[in-house]
Amino acid sequence: GQQLNQSPQSMFIQEGEDVSMNCTSSSIFNTWLWYKQEPGEGPVLLIALYKAGELTSNGRLTAQFGITRKDSFLNISASIPSDVGIYFCAGHLTYGGSQGNLIFGKGTKLSVKP
Amino acid sequence: NAGVTQTPKFQVLKTGQSMTLQCAQDMNHEYMSWYRQDPGMGLRLIHYSVGAGITDQGEVPNGYNVSRSTTEDFPLRLLSAAPSQTSVYFCASSYSSQTEAFFGQGTRLTVV
C-alpha cells in the first residue's frame, strides 16, 4: 500500500526549543494535513495544506506543502509543555484505487522537558 | 457543536462475540471513514463511505462490515470478534474525499 515516511519517530526536547518534523513519500499528494493526538483522544487537525509550495502558520506552528508534492514539514517554535503529544502527517493521494483516502504517517512522539 | 460522536468509549468483548461501534456526525459531511490505531502502526483505514448508500473497503477491511443508511450515521460492525481486533477505533468525517477529516474521540476495544 501507499506509505508516508514520517520522521523522527520521537523527540525529547527542552522547553523553549524549536521542533521540526517531516513526512516524505514516493507518491504525489493533493493535500497534506497535520494532526496532534493527546492520550485518550482522537487526532485534532492543526494545519491543512492544499497547494504545492504553500506555507501556513497556526500560532507557533508552521507547515509547508513541498514543491514536489511528495513531502511536507511541520515546525513548532518555542515549545511549551502542552505541546506534548503525537503528531501525525496525513495526505490525500492524487490517483489510484485509494484516491480520496487519507494516508497517515506513523507519527512523531514529542516529549517536552520543562 | 458535537462534531463526530463515537459510542461506546470503552468495550470488552469475548472472542466470537459481535458488536456495533456507533459513529454520528452533525456537520452534514458526505465522506465518513473508520480507522484503527495500533501501537507503532499509525492509523489504518478499515472502510469508508462517500455518501449515503455507498461504502467501500479500505486497507484492513477483513472482519468488519459497514453500512450508510443516512448521511449522519456510519456504524462499524464486528461480526465475530478476534483478539487481533483489539485496538482503538476512530471514526472520521469530512466535507469531501479530498478535504480535512475530523475525528471522534475513539472507542478502545479489547477482545479477550
Q: Give the model's pLDDT for residue A88.
A: 96
On whether any CB of chain A is under 8 Å from the CB of B42, the answer is: yes
What does residue A85 show for φ and ψ, rounded to 5 degrees? 160, -170
Nearest to B44 by CA among A1, A37, A93, A6: A1
Q: Nine-digit cell at A39?
A: 492520550
Q: How confident is the model at residue B1 (pLDDT cuts 50, 70, 90)?
A: low
| Least Cα separation, residue A101 to chain B (angstroms) | 7
Cα–Cα distance measured from residue A99 to residue B90, given in angstroms and rounded to the nearest whole number: 20
At a CB cut-off of 8 Å and minimum separation 6, what does B54 contact? B68
- To test the contact with chain A by mutation, choose from B100, B103, B108 the residue with the greatest count of A C-beta atoms within 10 A, namely B100
Per-residue pLDDT reduced to its tens digit, A78-92: 999 999 999 999 998
Q: How confident is the model at residue A35 (pLDDT cuts 50, 70, 90)?
A: very high
On whether any CB of chain B is under 8 Å from the CB of A45, the answer is: yes
What sign results for the dihedral spanned by CA atoms B2, B73, A85, B13?
positive
User: Smallest Cβ distance to B100: which of A48, A101, A106?
Assistant: A48
- To test the contact with chain B by mutation, choose from A102, A106, A109 the residue with the greatest count of B C-beta atoms within 10 A, namely A102
Q: Say whether pLDDT at B96 is over 90.
A: no
Q: How confident is the model at residue B2 (pLDDT cuts 50, 70, 90)?
A: confident
Per-residue pLDDT reduced to its tens digit, B19-54: 999 999 999 999 999 999 998 788 999 999 999 999
Residue type (1 letter), B102 = F
Q: Give the model's pLDDT for residue A102.
A: 86
